[in-house]
């Protein structure tokens, strides 16, 4: 599932139980700016703001603003490493089938 920057930000804020104002105060921006980021109205936050948000939520910058599936790929990679060769083959075959089905409609 691909999440936008704004959705990732909103989920982190809600998971931490913080208000828009609390996040805004913590990273030095206005409450409306945080709201605009969450709603994807303001789509290109500066690198410094992304760094402050990542530090505030204690996540990697790439988890917040990187490739949409970076975190999922790392999680899958950790799980995949612990599998037997047979299990890996099953997973790869399944992924191939799912991708083919997706392309076929």
Does the predicted model carry a pTM greater than 0.85? no
pLDDT one-digit tens code per residue, 64-79: 876 545 556 666 777 7
pLDDT one-digit tens code per residue, 3-37: 889 999 999 999 999 999 999 999 999 999 999 99
Q: Is the pLDDT of residue 96 over 90?
A: no
- For the chain, the average pLDDT equals 85
Q: Which CATH code is given to the segment(s) 5-65?
A: 1.10.260.40
**In Å, how far are 42, 80, 96, 97, 100 from 86, measured between CA atoms?**
46, 11, 15, 17, 21
| Domain extent listing, the chain | 5-65, 70-104
Nearest Cα neighbor of 12 from 33, 32, 38 is 38
């Amino acid at each position: 599932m691909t999440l936008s920057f704004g959705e990732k930000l909103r989920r982190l804020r809600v998971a931490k139980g913080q208000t828009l104002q609390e996040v805004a105060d913590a990273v030095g921006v206005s409450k409306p700016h945080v709201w605009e980021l969450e709603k994807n109205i303001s789509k290109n936050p500066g690198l410094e703001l992304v760094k402050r948000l990542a530090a505030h939520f204690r996540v990697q910058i790439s988890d917040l603003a990187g490739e949409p599936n970076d975190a999922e790929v790392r999680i899958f990679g950790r799980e995949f490493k612990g599998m037997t060769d047979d299990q890996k083959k099953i997973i790869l075959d399944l992924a191939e089938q799912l991708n083919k089905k997706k392309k076929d409609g």
